[in-house]
């Protein structure tokens, strides 16, 4: 069984405490414990210069300040103290990612109003009196209250449930038939009921779900890779693991790529457990975030569905973490704290005795290798549920297509799309490129419009009528004359983006209803999700989309997926180019044929003989992973070796190179552990937001404690001016 946490240490008023704040300071600060004393782990408000800041009591004070100058903490906040395991988790993830503790604390306290007292709102319940005059509407309200027993509601909830206007409720309040009371805003989440019936599972599914339920029940740490094609019932299976956690009285977390958090998914959870879970994502309101943060700390939220940062919420008793679409690159945070939520989920679970389920149709090579070596348990769902079968995969050899200029849809693909439209089915055209055209070129002088602050071309977004830099987000108006040679009216778009493909489709299929989906075309993630759901419900004949349509959406009527450029991801020297292309193509193809109708996926390619394209087509996944694994083993790269990306950046190029060269020469601490350093060299994108970037790469054996060596190495230099040194452990991107 899990160890119970030792009773928190206590500091009497005036005792010296060490407080960790989220301020960019490189040490804990000493204070005197506030009036009434405080627990270890307590959230406290402390003076810092003229300001009040929030911190966590991390231990006894160091006592290396003049005791007379040590100030007293103001007060203990009204929030559950940070638990020992959470402090452990922050410390160990800081060590792993080489991140300062204050930045980790910032991640763990991303809830607004932490220092505020719980605010109040009005709630309504049955009052002592009867109304003087009964009407139908009034009766409905009283019936609703009777039906739900001693639950209380907000005005809006009660009116909606009863199907009356809010003024009806207000009228009943005046007569004392309904009582209006103040109540804390941060209400507990409704209890979830794991005993509601689950779907009847297939044999495969039942075996997997029994294994997971037992693993969760055991209360020990473990990780399972749950593999199965899209539609094989992975969600169904891990919801049973959630049920086991709930039964054991423990909390569960399901991590999803941001965009996959759909109403459809939440509805399934609600059907299984009776209520909606807590939802933690970028679209959540401030009040909702605050409520979730607090309720999780008090054990009054049992299930959280969230994006990667949900991992840093203050769970009281976490028993299960599911990472759905575990291979998804959005789990790696690429700014600020450079962490991979999948890896940190495993770390967190190992600290608190939780089970981890990594679910994917196309796992990352890392997870595949861990399952191969026996470090992770592997469970397989081999077929799609019900009549749905994996789509038939075909290539279209573009060398034979002989397309006219500025056309990207081959005759073959056009014919197949038309066939689906005629049959009343949906087709999808996929291109993994946002905007209208990747290049804007002057036909007079050949100049390509670039970003002023980055070493990158600007991408035309016709929908916004602007050129946008995909590196820094800067945009400018479409130029009418060439910025280089001043020629008028000679600027032309080159190459396809999703918007341009939409335009071509409109010409090819004039009678079809076409929906173009790209993350930048909708104001919010919510608006985009609403659009996707409308399409899934039959709102379009042709869906044109980027990567985001590949993630977790069900299009029941979709029977054809056409990939415009299957070669796109194979360019470049990225270590994971093959893996990513394989995953993406299999995932996109998996959108086709989810219901009774079989699906087809067609890949337009100029290199149909490429080994990656071949293995996508043949669907020999094991063969593909084995070949990839052999290549990486031979090269000594992850997951068979360790790697760190080093990025030195600054506004002054000579200074940036000086620092990088200096670091490369001072490689003693790295050599001492047998690590090698490569570079420095200008980064593939050599300037971003006006900062020059130089990269180095550090490689070491799998067994080497690389982080310690890296921090000793980095500690040899003092960063002057605006120079920055970023260390990216297990880098996913190499730009
Ligand atoms: P995955 O997560 O692997 O993509 P899902 O769990 O979403 O698969 O299952 C695909 C579809 O099949 C869903 O609509 C799901 O409800 C349904 N389904 C899967 N297994 C069963 C089952 N045993 N009984 C009924 N419906 C099922
Ligand atoms: Zn830019």
Q: Distance from first CA to last CA of the chain, Å, rounded?
A: 45
Q: What is the CATH number of the domain that holds 620?
A: 3.40.50.300
Tell me, in angstroms, the distance from the centre of ligand 2 to residue 573's CA: 22
Task: Name the residue with tokens 């999703």.
Answer: 498
Domain end point (choices 66, 88, 110)? 88
Tell me, in angstroms, the distance from the centre of ligand 2 to residue 258's CA: 24
Is the residue at 470 inside a domain? no
Q: How far is CA 284 from the centre of its chain?
A: 14
Give the integer Cα–Cα distance in Å for 691 and 578: 30
Per-residue model confidence (pLDDT) at position 311:
96
* Contact between 172 and 178 (Cβ < 8 Å): yes
Nearest listed ligand to the Cα of residue 469: 2
Kindly give the pairing relationship between strand 724-729 and strand 641-650.
antiparallel
For atom 19 of ligand 1, the residue with the nearest CA is 233
Domain end point (choices 628, 657, 691)? 628
For atom 14 of ligand 1, the residue with the nearest CA is 231
For atom 9 of ligand 1, the residue with the nearest CA is 233
* 561 in the same domain as 425: yes
Q: Which of 116, 102, 82, 111 is nearest to 315 (CA)?
A: 82
Nearest listed ligand to the Cα of residue 452: 2
Residues in Cβ contact with 257 at an 8 Å cutoff, skipping those fewer than 6 apart: 307, 324, 325, 328, 330, 331, 551, 552
Q: What angle do CA 157, 160, 165 make, to 5 degrees?
A: 110
Give the integer Cα–Cα distance in Å for 578 and 197: 42
Tell me, in angstroms, the distance from the centre of ligand 1 to residue 330's CA: 24
* 421 in the same domain as 339: no
* Contact between 485 and 447 (Cβ < 8 Å): yes
**DSSP 8-class letter at 234:** H
Tell me, in angstroms, the distance from the centre of ligand 2 to residue 457's CA: 8
Mutate to test the pocket of ligand 1, among 229, 235, 360 (most ligand atoms within 8 A of CB): 235
Q: Report CA-CA distances (Å) from 534 to 181, 267, 548, 575.
A: 40, 16, 15, 38
Mutate to test the pocket of ligand 1, among 227, 233, 557, 558 (most ligand atoms within 8 A of CB): 233
Nearest listed ligand to the Cα of residue 226: 1
Encode pLDDT of 175-202 as tens digits: 999 988 876 667 889 999 999 988 899 9
Q: Which of 509, 256, 229, 205 is nearest to 390 (CA)?
A: 229
Is the residue at 485 inside a domain? no
Per-residue model confidence (pLDDT) at position 146:
83
The count of domains in the chain is 5
Residues in Cβ contact with 263 at an 8 Å cutoff, skipping those fewer than 6 apart: 529, 533
Tell me, in angstroms, the distance from the centre of ligand 2 to residue 308's CA: 26
Is the residue at 452 inside a domain? no
* 648 in the same domain as 610: no
Per-residue model confidence (pLDDT) at position 388:
59
Tell me, in angstroms, the distance from the centre of ligand 2 to residue 458's CA: 8
**DSSP 8-class letter at 610:** -
Give the integer Cα–Cα distance in Å for 587 and 170: 52
* Structure tokens belonging to residue 584: 């993406």
Give the integer Cα–Cα distance in Å for 354 and 216: 7
CB crowding 253-271: b at 16 or more within 10 Å, else e: bbbbbbbbbbeebeeebee
Burial (0-12, 13-18, 19+ Cβ within 10 Å), 465: exposed
Nearest listed ligand to the Cα of residue 689: 2
* 231 in the same domain as 170: no
Q: What is the CB-side half-sphere exposure of residue 245 using CA atoms within 13 A?
A: 30
Low-confidence ranges of the chain (pLDDT < 70): 1-8, 117-120, 149-152, 183-185, 259-261, 384-389, 521-526, 551-553, 572-573, 594-595
Tell me, in angstroms, the distance from the centre of ligand 1 to residue 385's CA: 6
Phi, psi (deg, nearest 5) at residue 296: -65, -40
Q: How many CB atoms lie within 10 A of CB 490?
A: 16
* 229 in the same domain as 155: no
Residue-wise DSSP of 336-372: SS--BHHHHHHHHHHHHT-EEEEEESS--HHHHHHHH
Tell me, in angstroms, the distance from the centre of ligand 2 to residue 468's CA: 8
Q: Report CA-CA distances (Å) from 684 to 7, 112, 572.
A: 52, 38, 10
Residues in Cβ contact with 210 at an 8 Å cutoff, skipping those fewer than 6 apart: none
* 403 in the same domain as 274: no
Residue 181 pairs in a beta bridge with 123
* 407 in the same domain as 272: no
- Ligand 1: residues whose CB is within 6 Å? 199-202, 205, 228, 230-236, 385
Instruction: For residue 229, give the ligand 1 atom closest to its CA.
Output: 3
* 320 in the same domain as 251: yes
Is the residue at 490 inside a domain? no
Longest dimension (CA), the chain: 89
Give the integer Cα–Cα distance in Å for 213 and 199: 15
Give the integer Cα–Cα distance in Å for 561 and 429: 6
* 300 in the same domain as 415: no
Tell me, in angstroms, the distance from the centre of ligand 2 to residue 687's CA: 8
Per-residue model confidence (pLDDT) at position 549:
74
Q: What is the CATH number of the domain that holds 693?
A: 3.30.70.600
Encode pLDDT of 654-684 as tens digits: 999 999 999 999 999 999 999 999 989 888 8
For atom 10 of ligand 1, the residue with the nearest CA is 231
Q: What angle do CA 638, 642, 647 make, to 5 degrees?
A: 100
* 648 in the same domain as 624: no
Instruction: For residue 199, give the ligand 1 atom closest to its CA.
Output: 24
Residues in Cβ contact with 340 at an 8 Å cutoff, skipping those fewer than 6 apart: 331, 332, 333, 730, 732
For atom 15 of ligand 1, the residue with the nearest CA is 233
Instruction: For residue 201, give the ligand 1 atom closest to its CA.
Output: 23
* Structure tokens belonging to residue 645: 């990306």
Cα torsion angle, 666, 669, 672, 673, sign? negative
Is the residue at 422 inside a domain? yes
Q: Report CA-CA distances (Å) from 734 to 573, 682, 696, 730.
A: 9, 11, 10, 11
Residues in Cβ contact with 167 at an 8 Å cutoff, skipping those fewer than 6 apart: none
For atom 6 of ligand 1, the residue with the nearest CA is 233
Domain end point (choices 73, 88, 103)? 88
Q: What is the CATH number of the domain that holds 155?
A: 1.10.10
Q: Find the length of the chain.
A: 735
For atom 11 of ligand 1, the residue with the nearest CA is 231
Q: What is the CATH number of the domain that holds 79?
A: 3.40.1440
Nearest listed ligand to the Cα of residue 472: 2
Give the integer Cα–Cα distance in Å for 730 and 282: 25
The torsion angle over the Cα atoms of residues 429, 435, 436 and 441, rounded to 10 degrees, is: -140
Tell me, in angstroms, the distance from the centre of ligand 1 to residue 594's CA: 10
Tell me, in angstroms, the distance from the centre of ligand 2 to residue 685's CA: 10
* 665 in the same domain as 608: no
Nearest listed ligand to the Cα of residue 451: 2
CB crowding 411-448: b at 16 or more within 10 Å, else e: ebbbebbeebbeeebbbbbbbbbbbbbbbbbbebeebe
For atom 5 of ligand 1, the residue with the nearest CA is 233
Residue 578 belongs to what domain range? Answer: 392-433+496-628
Per-residue model confidence (pLDDT) at position 1:
35
Is the residue at 444 inside a domain? no
* Contact between 408 and 414 (Cβ < 8 Å): no
Is the residue at 147 inside a domain? yes
* 647 in the same domain as 623: no
Q: Which of 730, 659, 666 is nearest to 693 (CA)?
A: 659
Is the residue at 450 inside a domain? no
Give the integer Cα–Cα distance in Å for 533 and 1: 43
Mutate to test the pocket of ligand 1, among 199, 235, 236 (most ligand atoms within 8 A of CB): 236
Nearest listed ligand to the Cα of residue 360: 1
Instruction: For residue 205, give the ligand 1 atom closest to its CA.
Output: 23
């Amino acid at each position: 069984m899990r160890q119970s946490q030792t009773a928190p240490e206590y500091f009497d008023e005036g005792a010296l405490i060490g407080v960790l704040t989220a301020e960019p300071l490189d040490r804990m600060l000493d204070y005197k414990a506030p009036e009434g004393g405080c627990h270890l782990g307590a959230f406290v408000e402390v003076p810092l210069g003229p300001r009040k800041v929030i911190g966590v009591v991390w231990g006894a004070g160091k006592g290396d300040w003049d005791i007379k100058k040590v100030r007293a903490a103001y007060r203990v906040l009204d929030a559950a103290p940070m638990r020992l395991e959470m402090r452990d988790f922050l410390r160990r993830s800081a060590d792993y990612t080489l991140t300062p503790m204050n930045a980790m604390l910032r991640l763990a306290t991303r809830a607004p109003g932490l220092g505020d007292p719980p605010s109040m709102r009005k709630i309504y319940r049955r009052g002592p009196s009867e109304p003087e005059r009964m009407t139908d509407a009034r009766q409905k309200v009283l019936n609703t209250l009777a039906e739900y027993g001693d639950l209380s509601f907000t005005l809006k909830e009660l009116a909606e449930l009863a199907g009356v206007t809010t003024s009806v409720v207000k009228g009943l309040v005046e007569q004392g038939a309904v009582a209006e009371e103040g109540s804390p805003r941060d209400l507990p989440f409704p209890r979830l009921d794991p005993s509601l019936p689950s779907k009847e599972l297939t044999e495969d599914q039942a075996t997997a779900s029994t294994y997971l339920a037992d693993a969760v029940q055991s209360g020990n740490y473990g990780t399972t890779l749950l593999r199965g094609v899209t539609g094989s019932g992975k969600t169904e299976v891990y919801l049973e693991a959630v049920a086991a956690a709930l039964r054991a009285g423990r909390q569960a977390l399901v991590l999803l790529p941001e965009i996959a958090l759909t109403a459809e998914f939440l509805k399934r959870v609600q059907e299984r457990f009776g209520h909606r879970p807590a939802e933690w994502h970028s679209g959540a309101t401030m009040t909702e975030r605050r409520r979730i943060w607090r309720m999780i700390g008090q054990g009054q939220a049992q299930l959280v569905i969230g994006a990667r940062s949900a991992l840093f919420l203050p769970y009281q008793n976490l028993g299960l973490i599911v990472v759905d679409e575990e291979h998804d690159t959005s789990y790696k945070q690429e700014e600020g704290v450079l962490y991979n939520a999948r890896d940190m989920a495993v770390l967190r679970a190992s600290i608190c005795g939780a089970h981890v389920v990594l679910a994917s149709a196309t796992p990352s090579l890392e997870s595949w290798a861990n399952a191969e070596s026996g470090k992770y348990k592997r469970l397989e769902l081999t077929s799609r549920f019900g009549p749905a079968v994996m789509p038939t995969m075909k290539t279209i050899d573009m060398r034979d297509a002989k397309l006219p200029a500025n056309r990207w849809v081959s005759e073959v693909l056009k014919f197949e799309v038309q066939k689906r439209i005629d049959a009343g089915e949906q087709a999808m055209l996929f291109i993994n490129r946002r905007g209208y055209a990747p290049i804007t070129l002057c036909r007079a002088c050949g100049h390509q419009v670039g970003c002023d602050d980055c070493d990158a071309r600007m991408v035309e977004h016709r929908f916004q009528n602007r050129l946008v830099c995909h590196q820094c987000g800067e945009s400018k108006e479409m130029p009418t004359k060439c910025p280089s040679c001043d020629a008028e009216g000679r600027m032309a778009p080159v190459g396809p983006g999703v918007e341009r493909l939409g335009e071509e489709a409109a010409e090819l299929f004039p009678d079809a209803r076409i929906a173009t989906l790209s993350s930048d075309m909708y104001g919010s993630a919510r608006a985009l999700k609403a659009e996707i759901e409308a399409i899934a419900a039959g709102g379009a004949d042709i869906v044109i989309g980027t990567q985001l349509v590949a993630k977790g959406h069900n299009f029941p009527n979709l029977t054809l997926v056409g990939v415009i450029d299957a070669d796109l991801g194979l360019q470049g020297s990225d270590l994971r180019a093959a893996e990513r292309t394989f995953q993406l193509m299999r995932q996109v193809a998996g959108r086709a044929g989810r219901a009774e109708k079989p699906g087809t996926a067609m890949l337009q390619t100029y290199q149909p003989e490429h080994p990656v394209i071949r293995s996508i087509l043949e669907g020999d996944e094991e063969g593909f992973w084995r070949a990839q694994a052999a290549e990486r083993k031979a090269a000594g790269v992850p997951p068979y070796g360790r790697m760190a990306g080093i990025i030195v950046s600054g506004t002054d190029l000579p200074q940036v190179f000086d620092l990088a060269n200096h670091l490369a020469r001072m490689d003693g601490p790295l050599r001492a552990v047998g690590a090698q350093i490569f570079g420095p060299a200008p980064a593939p994108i050599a300037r971003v937001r006006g900062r020059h970037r130089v990269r180095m790469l550090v490689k070491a054996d799998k067994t080497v404690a690389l982080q310690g060596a890296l921090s000793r190495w980095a500690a040899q230099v003092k960063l002057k001016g605006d120079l920055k040194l970023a260390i990216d452990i297990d880098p996913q991107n190499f730009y």
